[in-house]
Structure 1
Amino acid sequence: MIRAFSNGVLSRSLLSQALINTRAPIRCRKPSPCDTCLFPQDKRPCFDIANVVVDRGNQCHAKFIRSFLYNHFWPREPSVVGLWMSLNSQYLDVLTDKYAHSGDRFIAYEKIARTGERKMIGVLVANKLFPWHADELEEWAHFTPSKPERHRMYFTAHCIKSPNLFKKYNVDFIYDVEVLTTASEVTAQGVGTLLLQNALLQAYELRYPLVQVVASSQYTARICEKCGMKREWEMDYTDFVDVYGQRVFFPRRPHHTVAIYVKYKDPKIGAIVPCKPQLT
């Protein structure tokens, strides 16, 4: 009798606990469209590319670009991470100052509808590249005591010399996209493609014959392919060795290769003439 009573109490307690667990949670707010996320788990929900605008940077944006590079670009750049290069490196400090204060700088902002503010979510920096830049890098690397800095300088000079684009396309300079980065929370959501499209449009309007992107990561390579750029050169990171024949780079997956993408515009072909209004 006592055993049956105890079994009945235990079964009723388990049944009530199961009903409590399956009961719908009590809402303390109104339902929101964000309760059902239609975006993949690796992407930020409620992000709309229509709220992104691209502006040209100037000297007033230098400190913001510098902070963005240290927070989003250098910690994810395969040519830096693969060398275990410290963020306190003087070489990275020089490059950051260069990218923050010179060249054509395109900044992507996301407009926050709730507050009306704008948040920086992407940066692109492009400069003119001349044939003697590779020799200057190798000479600078020869007198650099730090091995990671020296390896990256030789690597950059190797990427300039190997495809020999100056001779192939018979150009005096190349419009080189040196930095193309986005915030980690908006990766693969179209921000990098929007930045590169604006840079290509800028080059087209200024009649630059050749645009180059050194895609050191797989993400940058996909962006270049979306923008219709052509792959001219490719190399595995394992193929780049030092003077002793030892491997230098150990990047993270899936960044195993570096490639160069270009877009050529024949200067003999004129630009598109805008339509003039009809005379009435």
Structure 2
Amino acid sequence: MSSFFGSTIFKILNDSGRYTKQLHTTKNLSFFRKKAQIKEPSPYIIVRATREEFHDILKVMHEGYYDEEPILTSLQVPPNPVLDDRAIQAMTKGYTLVAKCKYNGSIVGACINESTTPWDADMDDKLACKVQCEHIRQLIMFYSYIMRAPDLWRCLGVRKVYEMAYLFVKRPHRRKGLAYKLLNESKILGTDAGFKVIRCDATNIHTAKICERLGMQKVAEIPYCSYLNQNLEPIFNPPWPHQSVKIYCDCAPQYNDLKKKIKESTTNVTQK
């Protein structure tokens, strides 16, 4: 009996020593591991715009859109009532999203979204004929041109297309992921609203990169040097690297969104 108890006690002490050594080694290794970084909450929220905020959105647009948009800077088009009315008309569709500061409620960015129909390009042509400023007239005619370019209504057999038309963020609040969040939430809003086709005309390279990150497909590209005036000269000469308008599209967004959710849930289950 004594030999049995002796061997048992020796085994317990031996196992205990191994466990203590293993625990000590684990503590030493954990010292060199990087601690998981705690993600700080964003100071911004993205909400749907109200009619009372339309003029505030225009003010932010004047500060954060006209100074960075390649085709506007190329023509040196300043903020003007014609484009303001065009933006307000788009906002009345009810799909505009704004980024607000949590602490003071001020609007720091927006994505103006609208639904477009086959006859909207004709309406732009009529508007351009009434404009006195040559540069603004050229700009509106260009909008009409790129709206018709892919002919999504006829090719995809739809009457309405959800378009993410204007994306802008005030300069002090840039490089914080707001443009991506606004475009992503806008895409989700179009999906939830039941649109079968979601479109974005990326007139600058930054918007194009976001569209690609969102999984949208490029259906057309119009180099600025190919859009000529009556003298066969390019109308736009934007700075590098903004050299073309890239038209992105997401067909059957409900199906693509469901497929994405299934893939994410499968990945989470596999990781667990």
TM-score by length of 1: 0.72
Of 93, 100, 109, the match for 1:109: 100
Name segments (4+ residues, structure 1) moved above 6 Å: 266-272
Q: Do 1:103 and 1:125's aligned partners in 2 also have CA atoms closer than 8 Å?
A: no
Q: Do 2:49 and 2:97's aligned partners in 1 also have CA atoms closer than 8 Å?
A: yes
The Cα shift of 1:90 comes to: 3.4
TM alignment of 1:146-165, pairs within 5 A: 146-165=133-152
Of 68, 82, 85, the match for 1:91: 82
How many positions carry a matched residue from both structures? Answer: 222
Give the structure 2 partner of residue 145 of structure 1. 132
Q: Do 1:124 and 1:195's aligned partners in 2 also have CA atoms closer than 8 Å?
A: yes
Of 55, 63, 81, the match for 1:71: 63
Give the structure 2 partner of residue 216 of structure 1. 203
Q: Do 1:49 and 1:191's aligned partners in 2 also have CA atoms closer than 8 Å?
A: no
Indicate yes or no: 2:156 matched with 1:169.
Answer: yes
Aligned pair in 2 of structure 1 residues 49, 80: CA closer, same or farther (>3 Å)? farther
Give the structure 2 partner of residue 181 of structure 1. 168
Indicate yes or no: 2:242 matched with 1:251.
Answer: no
TM alignment of 1:127-146, pairs within 5 A: 127-146=114-133
The CA distance in 1 between the partners of 2:148 and 2:136, in whole Å, is 19
Give the structure 2 partner of residue 261 of structure 1. 248
Q: Do 1:65 and 1:100's aligned partners in 2 also have CA atoms closer than 8 Å?
A: no
* Code of the aligned partner of 1:109: K
The CA distance in 1 between the partners of 2:161 and 2:242, in whole Å, is 25
The CA distance in 2 between the partners of 1:99 and 1:148, in whole Å, is 21
* Code of the aligned partner of 1:175: Y
Which range moves more in the overlay, 204-213 or 251-260?
A: 251-260
Give the structure 1 partner of residue 113 of structure 2. 126
Q: Do 2:96 and 2:110's aligned partners in 1 also have CA atoms closer than 8 Å?
A: yes
Larger Rg: 2
The CA distance in 1 between the partners of 2:111 and 2:153, in whole Å, is 23
Identical positions, percent? 19
Instruction: Render the CA deviation track for 1:217-252: whole Å, top value 9, x for unaligned.
Output: 111111111111111111111111112212111222
SS at match of 2:75: coil
Give the structure 2 partner of residue 226 of structure 1. 213
| Larger helix proportion of the pair | 2
* Code of the aligned partner of 1:261: Y
The Cα shift of 1:102 comes to: 4.6
Q: Do 1:58 and 1:101's aligned partners in 2 also have CA atoms closer than 8 Å?
A: no
Which range moves more in the overlay, 91-100 or 54-63?
A: 91-100
The Cα shift of 1:207 comes to: 1.3
**Structure 1, unpaired ranges of 5+:** 1-46, 273-280
Aligned pair in 2 of structure 1 residues 192, 79: CA closer, same or farther (>3 Å)? same
Of 38, 44, 47, the match for 1:52: 44
Cα RMSD between the aligned structures? 2.6
Q: Do 2:91 and 2:114's aligned partners in 1 also have CA atoms closer than 8 Å?
A: no
The CA distance in 2 between the partners of 1:48 and 1:236, in whole Å, is 41
**Structure 2, unpaired ranges of 5+:** 1-38, 260-272
